[in-house]
């Protein structure tokens, strides 16, 4: 349906468009219970990842800073950040993810990470969260009300806000959907985030973080479980088709790799690093 001829950018409700696009996505959003089950495997696979190194190199860090890590997961960022800043508040709605993080905190005797269970929708003030020098949302903006989440991040930061948001089709593999006979609809990505920020009079910097197309797994079963996570209610036929697709994407490994296999994706995973420095409160 064509827009009225007088329509301008200011007339577009990007938050509504975000919500509409989320309704059309072909992947299912994960709740706390889903992430509880994935906590340990997620922690192991993301520890020391190239993504973390790329992001940490771009954060404005000094030893005196306080950091709010929203959607912290099992400490993918919080653990390496702990030795670079004064203190970190790790917020996540998954008890399993925070349990995995707390185990790492205890094992490494880390003293400057505080964990809080809570969601984007909760009252952060009631959760005892104060303003921090830096607020971070790393790959954690799969929310229904994106404008609310962005406003909260901005309100709880006094210095900088850093966001990493997906660039479609990341983190999904459209070819895997096609291989099992399912349609792929990406849903909204970072461009909605940028436009909502623009409507809030925030003009962020943007940098593309591109990862390698190749992912190394311990064996085919680990690769399969990593891909199964993309789908809801896989049938046995679909799972076999998915296994066949993954076998077709295996690239040769040296004999020293043992059972390890490397899967090469058609598209390299890409994340948009979106950040801004606080200069004034939102009107």
Give tens-digit pLDDT for 147-172.
999 999 999 999 999 999 999 999 99
Q: What is the pLDDT of residue 232?
A: 84
Residue 114's φ and ψ, nearest 5 degrees, are -110, 130
pLDDT of the chain along its 283 residues, tens only? 566 777 777 778 999 998 999 988 876 666 666 554 564 555 455 566 799 999 999 998 999 999 999 999 999 999 999 999 999 999 999 999 999 999 999 999 999 999 999 999 999 999 999 999 999 999 999 899 999 999 999 999 999 999 999 999 999 999 999 999 999 999 999 999 999 999 999 999 999 999 999 998 889 998 998 898 888 889 999 999 999 999 999 998 777 767 789 999 988 999 999 999 987 544 4
Separation of alpha carbons 132 and 185, rounded Å: 36
Backbone angles phi, psi at 29, to 5 degrees: -70, 145
Assigned architecture for domain 9-211+269-277: 3-Layer(aba) Sandwich (3.40)
| Domain ranges for the chain | 9-211+269-277, 214-264
Classify residue 22 as exposed, middle or buried by CB count within 10 Å of its CB (0-12, 13-18, 19+).
Answer: middle
User: What global pTM score does this model have?
Assistant: 0.88
**Average pLDDT value over all residues in the chain:** 89
> Cis bond leading into 169, ω under 30°?
yes
């Amino acid at each position: 349906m064509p827009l009225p001829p007088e329509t301008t950018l200011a007339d577009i409700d990007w938050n509504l468009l975000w919500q509409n696009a989320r309704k059309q996505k072909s992947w299912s959003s994960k709740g706390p219970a889903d992430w509880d089950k994935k906590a340990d495997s997620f922690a192991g696979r993301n520890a020391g990842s190239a993504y973390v190194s790329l992001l940490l190199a771009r954060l404005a860090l000094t030893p005196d800073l306080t950091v709010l890590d929203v959607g912290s997961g099992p400490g993918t960022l919080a653990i390496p950040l702990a030795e670079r800043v004064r203190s970190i508040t790790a917020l996540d709605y998954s008890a399993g993810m925070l349990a995995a993080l707390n185990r790492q905190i205890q094992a490494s005797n880390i003293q400057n990470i505080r964990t809080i269970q809570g969601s984007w929708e909760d009252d952060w003030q009631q959760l005892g969260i104060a303003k921090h020098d830096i607020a971070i949302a790393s790959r954690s903006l799969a929310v229904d009300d994106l404008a609310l989440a962005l406003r909260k991040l901005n309100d709880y930061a006094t210095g900088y806000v850093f966001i990493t948001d997906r660039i479609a089709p990341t983190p999904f593999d459209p070819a895997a959907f096609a291989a099992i006979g399912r349609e792929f609809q990406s849903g909204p990505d970072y461009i909605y985030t940028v436009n909502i920020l623009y409507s809030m009079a925030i003009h962020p910097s943007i940098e593309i973080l591109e990862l390698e197309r190749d992912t190394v797994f311990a064996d085919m079963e680990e690769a399969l479980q990593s891909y199964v996570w993309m789908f809801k209610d896989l049938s046995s036929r679909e799972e076999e088709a998915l296994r066949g697709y993954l076998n077709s994407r295996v690239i040769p490994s040296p004999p020293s790799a043992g059972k390890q296999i490397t899967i090469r994706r058609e598209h390299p995973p890409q994340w948009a690093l979106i950040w801004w420095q606080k200069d004034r409160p939102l009107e």
